[in-house]
Amino acid sequence: MPPGHCPACPERVLPQGTESRFAPSSPVWSPPGESIPVTKTCLPRDNGQQPWQASCADDYRRHVLFCGTQIIQAKGDGREPAKAVVLRTGFNTAKGDLVRSILYPKPMNFRLYRDAIRFLMFLIGIAGIGMVYTVCVFALNGEAAGEVVKKALDVITIAVPPALPAALTSGIIYTQRRLKRKGIFCISPQRINVCGQLNLICFDKTGTLTEDGLDLWGLVLAKGQSFQNACSFSPGSPVPWGPACGAMVSCHSLVLLDGQVQGDPLDLKMFEATHWEIEESKDDGELACAMIVKPGPKASHAPIRGMAILHQFPFSSALQRMSVIVQEFSGDHHIFMKGAPERVTHFCHPNSVPPSFTSQLQFYTSRGFRVIALAHKTLPAGMPAASLTREDVESNLTFLGFLILENRLKRETRPVLEELTAARIRNVMVTGDNIQTAITVAREAGMILPGSRVILVEASAQVGRPLASITWKLVEESKIDRCSGPEDRHSALGGGPPSGLGSSPFHFCMSGSSYEVITQSFGHLLPKLLLNGTVFARMSPAQKASLVQEFQKMDYFVGMCGDGANDCGALKVAHAGISLSEQEASVASPFTSRTPSVECVPELIRQGRAALVTSFCMFKYMALYSIIQYLGILLLYWQLNTFGNYQFLFQDLAITTLIGMTMSLNGAYPKLVPFRPAARLTSPPLLLSVALNILFSLALQVCGFVLVQKQPWYSADDLLSACAPRNTSLMGSPAPTGLSQGVHGMRNSTGGEEKEEEESYQSYENTTVWLLSTINCLLVAVVFSKGKPFRQPVHKNCKGAKGGRRGRKARPGTFSLMPVSC
């Protein structure tokens, strides 16, 4: 595997004795979603009696080179070049599965589309009734069988509008263009309508609600059974040498690429604070494959010339830690670890962890800081570092202290969350950070309002015991209530909040491990906890996706907003996944914002609501348009009459097509109202609206059909009687220009049978019914062009007004019309 090689087709696993660092050649096609160089290590050494996936557990991705990634460094064991074993090729790879999911997305099971199919079946049933009526009328009047069949088939094309799918799509297309102008890109347009129904948004914390970068705040070192005073970082001042400094310069996944140090932003901040430097090893011996770190010109004095990083156990979201084996130049071997404090202490000697560990950790996390724990140990002399497993390395460590990082809230976060809350849209935080830090950020962001109680839910399952336990405590009062049996657990959680809450609102918070135990052992309590759950911390990528699915089971329309590779699973399963990164999670997410800001969330909901209302308006208009035309045709069939071709053409193109193009131009209303548009076509208000308009159309056309026959000038045989009913001298004079074009022009033109057929359609009833149905279509378009509270009013639809003026330029003289008066 030479550097620069891009395994575009296969996916490979690294056997023992290899290590490589890679970066995606194109972040869009990188299934892991990394935008920075990531270290891949060889498979762990085992007895070979079980599959490698099982022995690696949740960390197996660290040993796999996924399809579509480019290798920038490859190091063997010093004797042979790095090698890899091909696992999968083509569409069987993770990239191929991703491409297949884009080409063939999962069908959206949205109520609108289900109801649309049902309504179309209803229209087909109406068309069937019309066909029976048509066959009876024409057959009883002795029409030819071919003519009866043609007229009956015409009823189907009239009652079931063929342009309905295109009309529904037009609103989505216009909304997609508006989103693009605002920097929001969509690869799944059908999800736009779903955004109009979102009522719960899950937010990642780091990079989404808070700033992407972290600033080093200070070090809190442990000495004996207590913590020392915090050592704050000042600009330009290096970190004094010590085991903690050794952990900061070595325990990272940074690489040197083209003379530039690249890697995770947290590792970069940590390493830059030490003023050390990275260089590649030039040794041909034991350190041939190692990375060298040396003190820089501005670094504090150190008793060593540098260190070589011999082996890495990279960070994993599942393990929440990373470790390295380093060697001082001509000196001892050391182990350094950093990670989540509650995880790192499990691998430290109990005597090295101060008793005030929990209170000290809570002190900093409750103030919104991100806390990283550091640990260290020195390997005995003569122990071969290359033969050590991760279990051997991560044991009996000495706890060093805390590395404190500051993560500031974005300026726009709180206003956006307040806007969503005012619109009755739930906000939930799903993060991999510490739970106390997450609670503090949730308070600052407005997710947890002042005066609300925070209940920390903790669940654990002990090995060897059949029953799991669940506890909760009020975070402010540190008051713990415990459930010992299944009955007690159900009565405590199922009967309401713990005692002492009163009527004040409360929020449940839990970690990923507690969520896992509750899912497996207390499934009946999970919906009750999720109903008021606000903060979910230390969540793995799989747990994030599972949480979104659990919310969906509770009939929530869930949106997920994140910016990292850890959010890809949740972004994919959510109703609307919104990625704030164009590199990492954008392929898995239906929506991607060019600006890494949560301001795109309310904008997407506004546009989604406008698109959903537009789809309903277009559907109702197209259905009413077809029914209006259907009623007019059935009335004329009573006289063996029908509309002419040009009359159909005018209604279909000059009116319906123009209205279908302009009705979707209404933009979204700027304010999010505290209720959502209807999601079903079969809802009572929509059905009542359609039914009343159908009755109005039927009454209008029947009245016109009857009243025109009662006029004194009406004559079924004399088409010119209305022009001069009392002046018989005009009957022999040439007809007016318009009439000659409409009547005599038919007789004087060529096309014999076709012109005679067109002439047979000319009647006062035909003209009256056609004019009334055309006016009715225009009235229905105005009635259904709904504005506030989800769309802009019709009078602001400038493009639609221009389109309407263009539509009125059609020449009425070209249609088969009969005037009712001169």
Other residues' Cβ atoms within 10 Å of the Cβ of residue 747: 10
Torsion-angle region of residue 626: left (phi > 0), alpha (psi -120 to 50) or beta?
alpha
Contact between 600 and 581 (Cβ < 8 Å):
no
Instruction: Please state the φ and ψ torsions of residue 685, each to the nearest 5 degrees.
Output: -60, -40
- For residue 349, the 8-state DSSP code is -
204 in active site: yes
CA 37 to chain centre: 26
Distance, in Å, from the CA atom of 741 to the CA atom of 367, rounded to the nearest integer, reads 85
Close Cβ partners of 822 (under 8 Å, ≥ 6 residues apart): 722, 723, 724, 736
Splitting the chain (822 residues) into consecutive groups of 10 residues, what average pLDDT does each group show?
A: 51 52 35 58 63 58 74 68 80 74 66 78 89 90 87 87 78 90 88 91 89 81 86 76 89 81 82 86 64 86 85 78 87 89 89 89 83 90 76 88 87 93 94 85 88 87 73 63 39 43 75 90 89 90 90 92 80 89 70 90 94 87 89 89 86 81 84 87 81 90 90 77 53 41 38 51 84 90 85 70 38 35 30
Three-state DSSP at 103 gives helix
Q: Radius of gyration of the chain from Cα atoms?
A: 37
3-state secondary structure 271-287: HHCCCEEEEECCCCCCC
Give the CA angle between residues 532, 537, 541 to the nearest 5°: 110
Contact between 247 and 230 (Cβ < 8 Å):
no
CA neighbours within 13 Å on the CB side: how many for 375?
A: 27
Contact between 69 and 22 (Cβ < 8 Å):
yes
DSSP string for residues in 597-649: STTHHHHHHHHHHHHHHHHHHHHHHHHHHHHHHHHHHHHHHTTT----HHHHH
What proportions of the chain, in percent to the nearest 5, are helix, strand and coil? 45, 20, 35
Contact between 668 and 607 (Cβ < 8 Å):
yes
Residue 193, classified by CB atoms within 10 Å of its CB into exposed (0-12), middle (13-18) or buried (19+), is buried
Distance, in Å, from the CA atom of 518 to the CA atom of 429, rounded to the nearest integer, reads 18
The maximal CA–CA distance of the chain, rounded, in angstroms, is 129
Distance, in Å, from the CA atom of 441 to the CA atom of 637, rounded to the nearest integer, reads 70
Contact between 570 and 596 (Cβ < 8 Å):
no
The catalytic residue among 59, 115, 154, 204 is 204
DSSP H helices, 409-567, are 413-422, 435-445, 486-494, 512-521, 526-531, 541-553
- Which residue bears the tokens 């059609």? 810
Distance, in Å, from the CA atom of 764 to the CA atom of 594, rounded to the nearest integer, reads 60
- Which residue bears the tokens 């950093």? 338
Buried b (16+ CB within 10 A) or exposed e, 676-706: bbbbebeeeebeebbeebbebbbebbeebbe
| Closest by Cα among 420, 379, 426, 422 to 398 | 379
Three-state DSSP at 152 gives helix
Strands 69-75 and 19-24: antiparallel
DSSP string for residues in 619-630: HHHHHHHHHHHH
| Closest by Cα among 479, 566, 492 to 61 | 566
> Quick one: pLDDT at residue 642?
86
Alpha carbon distances (Å) from 724 to 526, 719, 721: 83, 11, 6
Structure tokens at 343: 């995880």
Other residues' Cβ atoms within 10 Å of the Cβ of residue 219: 23
Other residues' Cβ atoms within 10 Å of the Cβ of residue 74: 22
Other residues' Cβ atoms within 10 Å of the Cβ of residue 250: 25
Distance, in Å, from the CA atom of 295 to the CA atom of 289, rounded to the nearest integer, reads 20
Structure tokens at 753: 């049978």
- For residue 191, the 8-state DSSP code is H
Instruction: Give the bridge partners for 75, in sequence order.
Output: 19
| Closest by Cα among 3, 32, 7 to 19 | 3
- For residue 653, the 8-state DSSP code is I
| Closest by Cα among 178, 165, 310 to 792 | 178
Close Cβ partners of 120 (under 8 Å, ≥ 6 residues apart): 160, 164
> Quick one: pLDDT at residue 239?
82
pTM over 0.95: no
> Quick one: pLDDT at residue 84?
81
Contact between 18 and 84 (Cβ < 8 Å):
yes
Residue 613, classified by CB atoms within 10 Å of its CB into exposed (0-12), middle (13-18) or buried (19+), is buried
- For residue 803, the 8-state DSSP code is H
> Quick one: pLDDT at residue 558?
94
